[in-house]
Amino acid sequence: MVVKSRVLRSATNGELHSSVTPEEKPKRAKVATRGRKNVKAAAVKGDAEEPSPSPQRRTSARIQIKQLADKELLVRQRVEILDETDSPSKRKKKNGPVRSKRNTKSKDKAVEDKAVAVPVSNDVTKSKDGGASEPMEVCALEKSTTADEGGPANVVEKSDHAKVKETLRLFNKYYLHFVQEEEQRCKKAEVAQKVSKGSKSKKAAPEEDTKSKRKRPDLKAITKMMEANEILNPEKRIGDIPGISIGHRFYSRAEMVAVGFHSHWLNGIDYMGMSYSKMYSNYSFPVAVSIVLSGMYEDDLDNAEDVVYTGQGGQDLTGNKRQIRDQVMERGNLALKNCIEQAVPVRVLRGHESASSYCGKLYTYDGLYKVIQYWAEKGISGFTVFKFRLRRIEGQSLLTTNQVQFVYGRVPKSVSEIRGLVCEDITGSQEDIPIPATNLVDDPPVAPTGFTYCKSIKVGHGVKLPSNANGCDCSGSCISSRTCSCAKLNGLDFPYVHRDGGRLIEAKDVVYECGPNCGCGPGCVNRTSQRGIKYRLEVFRTPKKGWAVRSWDFIPSGAPVCEYTGILSRTDDLDHVSENNYIFDIDCLQTIRGFGGRMRRSRDASLPANNSVDGIDDQRSESVPEFCVDACSTGNIARFINHSCEPNLFVQCVLSSHHDIKLARVVLFAAENIPPLQELTYDYGYALDSVYGSDGKIKQMPCFCGATECRKRLF
């Protein structure tokens, strides 16, 4: 599925800098072609617009594509004329390929020939170490080819930061798959128990072997990644782990294992054993590489920069934190002792109670510490324990422990605590949860204006929605994917899990949800995206990007955030409109087909007979989406969400009331675990040098997303 925008709206809500007044009109830019592959995040609008002395006339994508095709045809005709004037030997080759001419780099082929920035797919691909990994939804430079020579592509290596995000997203996908598996197992067990109680037969039903099935989903996920060689940094390392900076938060011990930060989901001390002696000949092993301070030992003492850490062993594993036997100087304890003698730094993570994490704790990386002293003493419970004093190495980033929940600021507890409040609720009470707007940038501060809030799609003039689909025959809630007709459209399974109010397991070409004619009720898991906004969102002003959106709540990966709403219109009807930067083209059909250089996301869409891809003959409908959502004058919170080259949201096409993919709903989902007060963003997906002005020249626009992997240009 790809949803693209033919036009670009400035992330500043029509303004480049905060000094521009709301009354000033924005300058419109236009997209010619956007070569994206297997998109998880899709494009809608622009990041920030460059100033212009006067507005330019809008040129639609349909016209631009036709212009490109005409120019390419002209080149081909010229090639044929040249071939006819060549020698007989060359004339024999006239009917062969003319790659050298067609691949000649020109202004008209800029999108195809230049390095293209694309949101990478969620298909499993090979990583550098030979293992498979799920590419994440960040902008990475696709392979760049020399078109004139037809030479081999130069693949730009992903950064360590990108690899970490990619691996964590792969872990979350596996985790949700196993969550769904566990939910189904529990449901079957519940049904079997009811049947057993209602049965008159006294013969007991055979007990199911659930030893392996009851394994925690997070542990199943890392087990699968280990078996598939998908663990990042499988070899232990001394010092920092590339791509993970101080302040990074893990939502479980399993996440640490997935990226090779702390290789055991239970032990508090991670160390290198004797097997590493060949790799590190200058050290005596074992050597500790990381510890987790999580309050599991009653003798721990944490003073932030200075820590007294209790060694491992002798603890009551039932969870009461008490020692029940003496500790021994071996394994992790010996590894920490060797760190003193060899001056080996140790990574320190701190665990904090957190309702956001399914394991009940949030773990923060607080930097490198040196082990400076150790001793043995009688602990609180009367058994011998080893104590290790660690001191934080100087010159590192500021310690984030005391502000772990508030790295981006502090969540207000009431309206009176909101700084820079300019509007208490931009929705006018339409949403169940108010959405305030704040402005600490402008002087005097202004509120977002120029639009009418609407929580649902408005059908525009000349658009007729298809009749409602027949729906499934389920009752109460959809349970069995074998009998639910909606589940069959999703590849014989439900796309969501119940956990956290419903989460999408992974991005799909199209998600088919239950609709008005289905027998199930509103609580059905297959209606997850239809329940409206459930997180406390805020619109806030930024210095360079204008208005932006953030959440006061933690948002788990796969959770729906909001739908992109506005006026559902025909693309042709808006070709004459200028200075509208909020048009969102619905083109999941083209993505399924792989049209225009965009490849399939996952090839998992089931198309009803009346929407068969092979049955579409209209070339015009293939080249330009037939319908779009216009949020310029009427829209919801989604119209304020900015672009990022490293987005934390992705766009998903959803069908619920009908099954016409040309009129799919556009929904934004969390691509990863999003902490409170982090700006919400998705990738607008523009290819470099793909936007043209009315004069036919390529336009360029700087990107201000500030991401580590930022391309520095939006297009």
Q: What is the DSSP string of 254-276?
A: HHHHHTTSSS-SS-SEEEE-GGG
Banded model confidence at residue 37, pLDDT cuts 50, 70, 90: very low
- Element spanning 44, H or E: none
* Kind and range of the H or E run holding 195: helix 160-198
Q: What is the CA radius of gyration of the chain?
A: 29
Whole-angstrom distance, CA of residue 193 vs CA of residue 100: 70
pLDDT confidence bin for 254, thresholds 50/70/90: very high
How many other β-carbons are positioned within 10 Å of the β-carbon of residue 460? 18
Beta bridge partners of 603: none
Query: 272 is written with which tokens?
Result: 């290198």
Mean pLDDT of 690-713: 82
Instruction: Provide the token pair at 488.
Output: 């069959």
Provide the 10 A C-beta neighbour count for residue 609: 7
Q: Which of 306, 299, 293 is nearest to 327 (CA)?
A: 299
Q: Does domain 411-613+623-714 have CATH number 3.60.15.10?
A: no
| Least-confidence region, from 58-62, 103-107, 600-604 | 103-107
pLDDT in tens, 53-73: 333 333 444 445 545 555 555
Over range 452-478, report the average pLDDT.
Answer: 93
User: At the top level of CATH, which class does the domain 217-392 belong to?
Assistant: mainly beta
| Pairing state between β 287-293 and 269-272 | antiparallel
What pLDDT score was predicted for residue 317?
Answer: 62
- Read off the amino acid at residue 150: G
**Token pair of 269, please?**
């001390």
What is the value of pTM for the model shown?
0.75
Percent of the chain with pLDDT over 90: 44
| pLDDT reading at 392 higher than 90 | yes
Measured distance CA(482)–CA(682) in Å, rounded: 34
**448 prior amide bond cis, ω within 30:** no
Distances (CA, A) of 293 to 17, 138, 331, 493, 625: 45, 32, 18, 40, 54
Looking at residue 591, its pLDDT comes to 59
How many other C-beta atoms are found inside a 10 Å radius of the C-beta of residue 266? 9
Distance CA 558, CA 528 (A): 11
- Give the Cα separation of 690 and 687 in Å (integer): 5
Burial of 398 (0-12, 13-18, 19+ CB in 10 A): exposed
Distance between CA atoms of 701 and 666, rounded to whole angstroms?
Answer: 26
Amino acid at 584: F
Q: Which tokens go with 270?
A: 């991670």
Distance CA 114, CA 136 (A): 22
pLDDT computed for residue 303 by the predictor: 75
Q: What is the DSSP code (8-state) at residue 204?
A: P
Q: Chain-wide mean pLDDT for the chain?
A: 75
**φ, ψ for residue 536 (rounded to 5)?**
-80, 105
Q: Are 137 and 652 in contact (CB under 8 A)?
A: no
Q: How confident is the model at residue 583 (pLDDT cuts 50, 70, 90)?
A: confident
DSSP of 7-42: EE--TTTS-SSTTS-TTSPPPPEEBS----BS-SS-
β partners of residue 63: none
SS3 610: helix
Element (H, E) at 654: strand 649-655
With CA atoms as reference, report the closest residue to 629 among 4, 1, 59, 2: 4
How many whole angstroms separate alpha carbon 679 and alpha carbon 674? 9
Q: Quick one: how far is CA 78 from the chain centroid?
A: 46
**Segment of 275-279, 302-306, 576-580, 681-685 carrying the highest mean pLDDT:** 275-279
**186: CB partners within 8 A, 6+ apart:** none
C-alpha distances out from residue 673 to 168, 245, 456, Å: 9, 17, 26
- What single-letter amino acid sits at 79? V
pLDDT tens track for 509-567: 899 999 999 999 999 999 999 999 999 999 999 999 999 999 999 999 999 999 999 99
pLDDT at 519: 94
| Domain ranges (residues) in the chain | 217-392, 411-613+623-714
Token pair recorded at residue 310: 């209790």
Separation of alpha carbons 41 and 61, rounded Å: 20
